[in-house]
Structure 1
Amino acid sequence: MTVIGVITRGKYGNRLIETILKHSGFSVVSTDLPEFLPVFIEEPDEFLENLNFDLSVFSAEIVVTYSLHPDLTSGIARLAAENGVRALIVPGGPSRASVPELEQISEKSGMSIEVDEICCTLEANPANRVFAEVFGVPVLKVKTKDGKIANVEVIKGAPCGSTWQMAKDLVGVPVKDAPPKAGLLVQQYPCRAIRGEMGGIHESAELHKQALIKALEAEALENEE
């Protein structure tokens, strides 16, 4: 069984654990960080050691860290590389991670490091493929009946779980209204992506809208054959 490591911080990361356990065959090993951290951490390695940070999270080949702190994320990346992690996924975007430093760690160690503002933009690469084939950019399969959505199967969905909730709530919606409704449902989901800007939750909504459009087009082609 594939094991995914998750580093949580406060409320961040717990929904990912729930989604992994509910919507995949993966198991999870996790550890947590304090919700409130200093703005600057001069010695992140020492800071983590003083926290008695549980290194067992690095027994997983793929680790997702919600450290959301540039200094601490770099320290975690170094520890992950030293412990043989193949892929480190960093939600929160460049503002929460020192990207140049992470690139150096990746180049030196060979560990894949993916920094994404929102996890539903995650693309697969050879190191993270087993995770990113289930969680990341949404992929759907849809069935319609009498001009309405009859069923939406989630092939790949957002790690926060919004895709599965959207799929359930789309059943019975008229086909012509379904794509914008898909985006609206994702925005209404209690996702913790940034709101009030053009990125964040708005990007997630657009990704889900386009995924549904593609699924409807695929179903139409199947029905023509």
Structure 2
Amino acid sequence: MLKVVILTDGTYGDRAYDTIKEKFDTEFIQLEAPSGMFLDDDIEIPDNAINKINKANIIISYISHPDLALDIVYRFADKVDWIIIASWKGNGLKNQFESKNNVSCPYIMCELEENGNSTYDEFVSKIGCPKVDLIIEDEKIKDVKVLRSSPCGSTSFVAEYIKEKYKNKIPDEENLPREAGLRIQHYPCRAGKMRLFTDEECKKQKASGFHQEAFENAILSKK
């Protein structure tokens, strides 16, 4: 089974862990950030954490300290199949991360889609840009199945809402996707807080758009 290791030095990553562990063998590792923002000294990572990271196929980094984040990339990029940087600050740092061919820095984690790398594609077949399937009986929604979930779990949150709202009535094909997108606004998304100089509302709007599109595609697939 695909092995995923989620790294954090703060408060982010726990929701991704709860979602991803349902699909893949997943470890959640809390690392201690250096005391300063930029240090020239070597960064210490416990041996037990190193052993777990070395066994990963995919690393997902929610590390906010730039030196620690860079150290993870430079130390482990050649040992794992792919590294996803979920938390990054500024295009300069992004460019440093992505100087490694198997490192990507998504603008928002619910935009992940296949890129041709077999390990990465296996991961994003279940986690990333949302996909849902509507199970319809007698023109009513019997169930909403999440085929691919956003890492934070918001897709299941939206799917449950749509399922409950439409279980006893015929869905409005025009308004239902819009409702799904708007429902994201009620989920406590943290995406905008993970990066410096970014617009939190813009990220929420993108997440909303991804979920609206997922339900639009689900409706079209039934025609």
TM-score by length of 1: 0.82
Match of 2:219 among 196, 216, 220: 216
- Report matched runs for 1:12-23 at 5 Å: 12-22=12-22
Partner of 2:112 in structure 1?
A: 122
Instruction: Tell me the SS of whatever aligns to 1:92.
Output: coil
Q: Deviations over 1:59-83 (max 9, x none)?
A: 111110100233322111011124x
Q: For structure 1, which segment, 129-138 or 116-125, has the greater mean C-alpha deviation from structure 2 after superposition? A: 116-125
2:112 and 2:124 in contact (8 A); partners too: yes
Partner of 2:149 in structure 1?
A: 157
Instruction: Tell me the SS of whatever aligns to 1:85.
Output: coil
Give the partner amino acid of 1:52. P
Instruction: Tell me the SS of whatever aligns to 2:98.
Output: helix
Deviation >6 Å, runs of 4+ = none
Match of 1:42 among 27, 30, 39: 39
Give the partner amino acid of 1:20. I
Distance apart, 1:43 and its partner CA:
2.8
- Report matched runs for 1:26-175 at 5 Å: 26-34=24-32, 38=35, 40-43=37-40, 46-47=42-43, 49=44, 51-52=45-46, 54-55=49-50, 56-82=52-78, 84-95=79-90, 98-104=93-99, 106-107=100-101, 112-125=102-115, 126=117, 127-145=119-137, 148-171=140-163, 172-173=165-166, 174-175=171-172
Q: Deviations over 1:119-173 (max 9, x none)?
A: 1011222141111111111111113456654321111110000001111110133
- The 1:203–1:38 alpha-carbon spacing in structure 2 relative to 1, beyond 3 Å, is farther
Give the partner amino acid of 1:6. I
Instruction: Tell me the SS of whatever aligns to 2:192.
Output: coil
Q: CA separation in 2, counterparts of 1:19 and 1:7?
A: 15
- The 1:96–1:19 alpha-carbon spacing in structure 2 relative to 1, beyond 3 Å, is farther
Partner of 1:9 in structure 2?
A: 9
Percentage identity across paired residues of the two chains: 27
- In the alignment of these two chains, the number of paired residues is 208
Extract unaligned runs of 5+ from structure 1. Answer: none
Q: For structure 1, which segment, 135-144 or 87-96, has the greater mean C-alpha deviation from structure 2 after superposition? A: 87-96
Match of 1:199 among 187, 199, 202: 202
Q: Which has the higher helix share?
A: 1
Extract unaligned runs of 5+ from structure 2. Answer: 194-198
2:10 and 2:63 in contact (8 A); partners too: no
Q: Deviations over 1:64-121 (max 9, x none)?
A: 0100233322111011124x111000113553871222233x14xxxx1110122101
1:41 and 1:72 in contact (8 A); partners too: no
1:8 and 1:33 in contact (8 A); partners too: yes
The CA RMSD measured in Å over matched residues stands at 2.4
TM-score by length of 2: 0.82
